[in-house]
Structure 1
Amino acid sequence: MKRPVYLRGMAAACAAGDDRATIADACIAALPAPAEVCFRSLGGDVVLPYFRAGGIGTATPRVAEQALDDAVRRDALALYFGSSSAGITLHERAYVAALAAGSDGDAPHGGPLFPIHAPDQSRAARELRTALGARGPYYTLNTACSSAANALLYAAFALRDGLVDAALAVGIEEENRLSQQGFFSLMLATRERSRPFDVARDGIVLGEGAAALHLSADRGGARWQLLGGASLCDASHPTNPSAERIADTIHAALDDAGVAAAEVSAVKAHGTGTRANDQAEALGLRRVFGDAMPPLTSIKPVLGHTLGACGALETVAFTACLERGRVPPTAGFADADPELGVAPLRAAAPWRGGVALLNYFGFGGNNCALLLRELA
């Protein structure tokens, strides 16, 4: 018999704040506050908006500790760590330091200026595990923008099947130039603000953040139950998602959670603000819900698109909003796109409990959908 999975504790830090209450206030009030980044591309200066939090790497252990309660056994705590570029930030810093020193670092074989001898995406997870004193199994998941969502889902699967008794799912994204320049080169970054599902949407605004969720088979004082979810791969195209496969992912998540589409009371869309992603997600949602679309929103215009961390950060933020009895609006949304057939909330809507669907989709066709229920 499969065990239930409860979210015993949640914590986050991002540009919108460093606690759930502050982050929820920003989402409900739709208060985006991006900073700017500047870099050179093709011989010219590029200035883009960016949701900078600062000190996310050093803040992550604190965020993780805030999500845990005193009852958890650290010797058995499993860690599921999701990020799309946690190691990249460390590598960029090492390169800058080596360049400034005019050396190749301590490369054992000499050669060109290149201090990244052993790229290691799991280093951040190992360091966090040590800082927490956790001695259970640990895993690093890197599935682009669904990384932390998959960390949550696979932690839930392990708990449900009795493989672990307590788990911590963590998502982290730190500012780095590779991501900024990469999305700019793909012509997916807006120079203004993200406007998910709007007819004039023209790209994403990146951001950084960290979030942690404590999962347990024992309810304790938990207010949320993770009913289930699904992670499917869309192999049709590396960057352009398919509406059909998004619908397949949501249907699989509903089946796994034992929930009918009609039971869903709110949808937190992935809602990046790009032409192709929003179109595929909107059409995929219509395949699932038809004309009976639940209240729909994207909170990326307030938090920034935190890439691999968004599965954790947006889950923490969205549930905090729902606990206040509000489904937050989509900041920046003004005019509906007739091709999409859906319109997200322009103003906060009442939440009266029930089941929430949370979507997270990433490059490479890494689709993940989660179903959460607010407990009485």
Structure 2
Amino acid sequence: MASVSPLGMNQNEIWEAYTKDQHKITSRKYVSTAAIVAELPRHAADQIAVLRNSTANYQALDNSVLYGLLAARNAFKMAGWDKNSHFGINVGSSRGATSLFEKYHEEFLAKGKSSTLSSPTTTLGNISSWIAHDLQSQGPEISHSITCSTALHALLNGVAWIQSGLTDKFLVGGSEAPLTAFTIEQMKALKIYAADTNADYPCQAMNLNKKQNSMFLGEGAGVICMEKGVQNNAIALVTGIGFATEPLQHNISISTEADCFQKSMKMALQGMDASDIDVVVMHAPGTIKGDQSEYNAIKKVFGSQMPALTTNKWKIGHTFGASGILSLEFAILMLVNQKFINIPFVTSDGAPQNLRRILVNAVGFGGNAVSVVIEQR
């Protein structure tokens, strides 16, 4: 696995960042207003700049493509795959080429004309197709947007393709570069964006006593190289998957007890006892209703056998379509290092001493829930 995010792009530095109680929030001026965001660190942004300038073709690409491409290169190398490996690619995005689309639309409004590359560089298929080009893959290429559960839906697709026998390997994940003035104003219009830039922890994800919404945006990408069976270099096993949707009550809401999460978690837990799960990495975006409804669903599913709960949103923000894969990376790192990472402003009943199985949740606008169980190799 590999990623590029506000935590960095090397697994050692990412894990070190997780073990500290500091968040990665900064404040940036967007047009006429300031907003808190989580940006890539300077060394990671520099690597993106090097990648962009490495060939003329890459100079016209959106950051969402370049983030995914860099993460894919690193994971591909770690997995020991090469151009002779037959593998599929599914790296999705909630919004795709956000910055480029806004740039080209502004250009059109000003000039009444559109640039030659405005269409091919702003399609959602842009990410997987350029990764396929860069890695010289011979397998299927899939791109999609299922809002904030996009990356974990990519994992579902990878599992399905592998189980179908059409391929033995799949590179899956999500990429998002949403830090634009228009995107942030959209979130502010929904009344869910964090406003308190002076707080020690501006995002109060999983704090069920918070009085205001505290979601904020981050950027980044993550990918996982999946293979059939148990390989010698496997770092974790996918042992349960679940998915569900629920009827919409509102464009951005899910039900009070998150029926979609209840269904997806129960599906992922088939053949397991509730006590088999040591940790749930929650979606928990930092909104009042979103955090509470997911917690209600977990209580419904696990009852008196509640696992430890955590999330990474307070630290790196909500990365939309990439959030699920970054949560999965978080879970894998906890398994590998055998250490539970708590949230500094949430009281815990005690950290599990041994980590064997972790459940990861993601959900997006429209109640598209995905739950994945990973197990220690």
Scaled by the length of structure 1, the TM-score of the pair is 0.84
Tell me if the contact between 2:360 and 2:371 (Cα under 8 Å) persists in the aligned partners. yes
Distance 1:74 1:97 in 2: 42
Counterpart among 197, 204, 227 of residue 206 in structure 2:
197
Counterpart among 259, 262, 265 of residue 272 in structure 2:
259
Tell me if the contact between 1:72 and 1:166 (Cα under 8 Å) persists in the aligned partners. no
Distance 1:195 1:315 in 2: 20
Relative to 1, partners in 2 of residues 1:280 and 1:107: Cα closer, same or farther, differing over 3 Å?
A: same
Distance 1:217 1:118 in 2: 33
Give the deviation of 1:320 after TM superposition: 1.2
Q: SS in structure 1 opposite 2:322?
A: helix
Structure 1: 4+ residue segments shifted above 6 A: none
Give the deviation of 1:66 after TM superposition: 1.4
Q: SS in structure 2 opposite 1:195?
A: coil
Query: 1:1-376, aligned counterparts within 5 Å?
Result: 10-40=1-31, 45-53=32-40, 54=45, 55=48, 56-57=63-64, 58-68=66-76, 69-72=79-82, 74=84, 76-96=86-106, 102-106=110-114, 120-174=123-177, 175-192=179-196, 193-198=202-207, 199-200=209-210, 202-218=213-229, 219-237=231-249, 238-242=251-255, 243=257, 244-255=259-270, 258-331=271-344, 333-334=345-346, 345=348, 349-375=351-377
Structure 1 gap ranges (5+)? 1-9, 109-114, 335-342
Distance 1:121 1:50 in 2: 24
Distance 1:212 1:204 in 2: 24
**Which moves more between the two structures, 173-182 or 54-63?**
54-63
Give the deviation of 1:360 after TM superposition: 0.3
Give the deviation of 1:151 after TM superposition: 0.4
Tell me if the contact between 1:267 and 1:294 (Cα under 8 Å) persists in the aligned partners. yes
Give the deviation of 1:94 after TM superposition: 2.4
Distance 2:108 2:225 in 1: 38
Q: SS in structure 2 opposite 1:327?
A: coil
Q: Which residue of 1 aligns with 2:55?
A: none
Q: SS in structure 2 opposite 1:288?
A: helix
Q: Which residue of 2 aligns with 1:6?
A: none
**Which moves more between the two structures, 178-187 or 73-82?**
73-82
Relative to 1, partners in 2 of residues 1:208 and 1:351: Cα closer, same or farther, differing over 3 Å?
A: farther
Give the deviation of 1:73 after TM superposition: 5.2
Distance 1:223 1:82 in 2: 23
Distance 1:92 1:241 in 2: 29
Distance 1:74 1:63 in 2: 20
Tell me if the contact between 2:148 and 2:321 (Cα under 8 Å) persists in the aligned partners. yes
Distance 1:178 1:312 in 2: 25
Name the aligned partner's letter for residue 294 of structure 1: P
Q: Note the alpha carbon deviations across 1:164-202, whole angstroms, 9 max, x for none.
A: 211101210102334311111000101231111211252
Q: Which residue of 1 aligns with 2:53?
A: none
Q: Note the alpha carbon deviations across 1:127-177, whole angstroms, 9 max, x for none.
A: 121111112101112111100011012101221232221110121010233
Tell me if the contact between 2:104 and 2:115 (Cα under 8 Å) persists in the aligned partners. no
Relative to 1, partners in 2 of residues 1:116 and 1:63: Cα closer, same or farther, differing over 3 Å?
A: closer
Relative to 1, partners in 2 of residues 1:106 and 1:239: Cα closer, same or farther, differing over 3 Å?
A: closer
Tell me if the contact between 2:69 and 2:127 (Cα under 8 Å) persists in the aligned partners. no
Distance 2:120 2:225 in 1: 34
Q: SS in structure 2 opposite 1:212?
A: strand
Distance 1:229 1:129 in 2: 26
Count of residue correspondences: 342
Distance 2:107 2:353 in 1: 50
Name the aligned partner's letter for residue 221 of structure 2: A
Q: SS in structure 1 opposite 2:237?
A: strand
Structure 2 gap ranges (5+)? 49-62, 197-201
Q: SS in structure 2 opposite 1:153?
A: helix
Give the deviation of 1:98 after TM superposition: 5.5
Tell me if the contact between 2:168 and 2:227 (Cα under 8 Å) persists in the aligned partners. yes
Q: Quick one: higher RCO (CA 8 Å, sep 6+), 1 or 2?
A: 1
Distance 2:222 2:313 in 1: 15
Give the deviation of 1:75 after TM superposition: 5.4
